[in-house]
Structure 1
């Protein structure tokens, strides 16, 4: 049996999802499946609703045995659900009730970790569901965490951009300052690690607001301190990368971005293999099956796409595309020629082939360059115009556009319609912050400090800026 968990915010925006492994032969279903705050059980039972959180769910993950699902929320709680029945087995409250952004379970299911907006992480003993320790790890919000595959250490990432490595007793092993400019968004260890004598080496992927996905080598030799060495910096995406994950063998690493793309890399060589551009809004979650050749990608467009790695037929999922899945700059000469045929420009294939034009050259093609190729004579003026329009449309399609982060409400992550300024100085969607203030939590959603007043001031300049931006789109 396979479980696919999707959490949405107000039945609109996909926030997080995760999958428990299973070699079920009939999955995945048709691409573009739409799910909403439920567990889709691929058995005779269609779905199971899970409710209990008071605010949006930011992260969910399974225990290694698959028996439990963990979810954490802005309401300051981590809930433990039974994967079999969907019943809540435990509700673990952060000691200060700070909003939780991320949670993780140790590989042996002995520990549960949750990162909070007040810069702390809470560590629970998983079997007894008791708090072991709540410890400050950053001056900024903790938005990423993961356990090492050996379960003896974990990594935290914060909105200041730092990565820190800790042992399970909360002792700092290593700190990587400014790992990502503008903030870390996700981190993930490769499932496998190497032991060379008395030295253990692990690979860690991290991504952030700087549009980069990085692969690190984490080393620890017996009796010495841990070290982190940067192996690859991957820069094929043009906007913040929100999620990253390794394949089960560690040979692939995948990143999902605000530019609506999913980038797939060779983790050993650091080379780009594919860019998937089939989502209509930014990609918030990526997952790779540990037992089957599948990649799942979740997006704010309310869909989950399932891809089959390598050859396969459409009945078992969408195959990774060829030239159309790569950014234009990475197209080969053959990719360009194939694209010309698809766009009804077959008569140009011989010219492009003779001049060795690949994707990089195609992206720079203008009227003057086309004329030099002979695509600009009197008899081919119309052809040149068609070609340049096709190139312009292709580049626009690949670049995409998304709302700037400052236009999104910090609570709902949706484009604001009626922005207001709260007592903490931050702007929110009026309805969302009013609902927040009416609730039990009288602290700032951003700083976790008490709100001195419930007075809200309309942010008219921001509203006008958002209106202008919407008109330009």
Structure 2
């Protein structure tokens, strides 16, 4: 896997980083209102993933085209300085026309994908933004934040938030829209609480436990919700909230999870390994591919939009178990997004840049 801010050519992208430098003053300020962490003076690993400093071993940000196998190429097609602070999340709209980003400056930004020109800036959160997600069926954008709220915006006219969901007692770490239930939004916080929100009624419909780092609905069917907490991914039944599968094998905390477009496979990423699982018979799931860290650390991944055997992490060809690394950012890549419509992949980094790849 590549070093800090590198992309490994294998079908998935990894946000890798090195070192554990002390937090800077801004990080500490953003954390000041986090009363749940004050009790023991510590911050758990999933929060550290947002506050961790950029890599010491910086690399030039270059856009190269690399042949991985059988004519596969991957190159940077656009880049923009998206913020004055670290960018921690990004996501494409369902039609691929817009890209949203968010991070430590407390703002979510909408960009036109084809030009990376600014469309709108959303400025209502009072602390850093942890996740941004577009609805798969409606022109809506949802954002989550350390300010313990989830906000929903009209992507076409985002002058102010349409909904403000309050109820989490800790920082909201991740959120997602259900793929075919337009009304359903899910979010999780640093204490492991998962909440279902009704966008139509503006209220919380269910509360249960299970996720601290990231949550993602299964694409298309939406039968399952993947929830990462510590070193386990729980696959929860959306209707009953019962745990159908427990994906165990990581030795370190899991930073992110992603489904392949078919919803048949799921990848999980910790700093030292990436695992791809299939949900077969039984309640544990089966790890069908594993990639171990080789001196660098992973943080995020996505399945390539057209080469399904490729994970954009280090560009890992799972079929041939080969990887290649592409220098991409000068800092940690905190988030990756893919558009199956355009075939584009976006990367958001602590170096304050957002880049588009194909």
TM-score normalized by structure 2? 0.68
- For CA contacts below 8 A with separation 6 or more, give which structure has more relative contact order: 2
Tell me whether 1:81 sits opposite 2:153 in the alignment: yes
State the alpha-carbon separation in 1 of the partners of residues 305 and 203 from structure 2: 31
Aligned residues: 267
Pair 1:6–1:50, CA change in 2 (3 A)? farther
Alpha carbons of structure 1 residues 305 and 175: separation in structure 2 relative to 1, 3 Å: same
Aligned counterpart in structure 2 of residue 148 of structure 1, from 218, 234, 238 = 218
Q: Does 1:127 align with 2:200?
A: yes
| Counterpart position of 2:328 | 278
Counterparts of residues 133-282 of structure 1 (less than 5 Å): 133-137=206-210, 142-149=212-219, 150-158=221-229, 160-168=230-238, 169-177=240-248, 179-193=249-263, 202-209=264-271, 211-219=272-280, 226-235=283-292, 238-249=295-306, 250-255=308-313, 263-267=314-318, 269=319, 271-282=321-332
Separation of aligned partners in 1, 2:114 and 2:302? 27
Gaps of 5+ in 2: 1-78, 100-106
Structure with greater Cα Rg: 1
How many angstroms does 1:134 deviate by? Answer: 1.3
1:236 Cα deviation from its structure 2 partner: 5.2
SS of the residue 1:170 aligns to: coil
Q: Secondary structure at the match of 1:72?
A: strand
1:102 is matched with 174
Separation (CA, whole Å) in 2 of partners of 1:187 and 1:46: 28
Separation in 1, partners of 2:94, 2:165? 25
Counterpart-to-counterpart distance in 1, 2:296 and 2:94: 30
Q: For 2:134 and 2:109, locate their aligned partners in 1 and report how far apart those are by CA, in whole Å.
A: 15
How big is the shift at 1:293? 3.0
1:76–1:98 Cα contact (<8 Å) kept: yes
Contact 2:94 2:137 in 1 (8 A): no
Instruction: Please tell me whether the aligned partners of residues 260 and 266 of structure 2 are also in contact (alpha carbons under 8 angstroms).
Output: yes
Residue 153 of structure 1: how far off its partner (Å): 1.1
- Counterparts in 2 of 1:42-57, with a 5 A limit? 46-57=118-129
Deviation for aligned residue 1:191: 1.3
CA distance, structure 1, for counterparts of residue 320 and residue 278 of structure 2: 13
CA–CA separation in structure 2 for the residues paired with 1:118 and 1:264 = 33
TM-score, normalisation: structure 1: 0.52
- The residue that corresponds to 2:27 in the other structure is none
Structure 1 residues 127 and 37 mapped into 2: Cα distance closer, same or farther (>3 Å)? closer
The structure-2 alpha-carbon separation of the partners of 1:46 and 1:102, relative to structure 1 and needing over 3 Å to count, comes to closer
Gapped runs of 5+ residues in structure 1?
Answer: 29-35, 194-201, 256-262, 309-473
- Which one has a larger percent helix, Structure 1 or Structure 2? 1
Structure 1 residue 206, shift from structure 2 partner: 0.5
- Partners of 1:70 and 1:6 lie apart in 2 by 22
Cα distance in 2, alignment partners of residues 183 and 80 from structure 1: 29
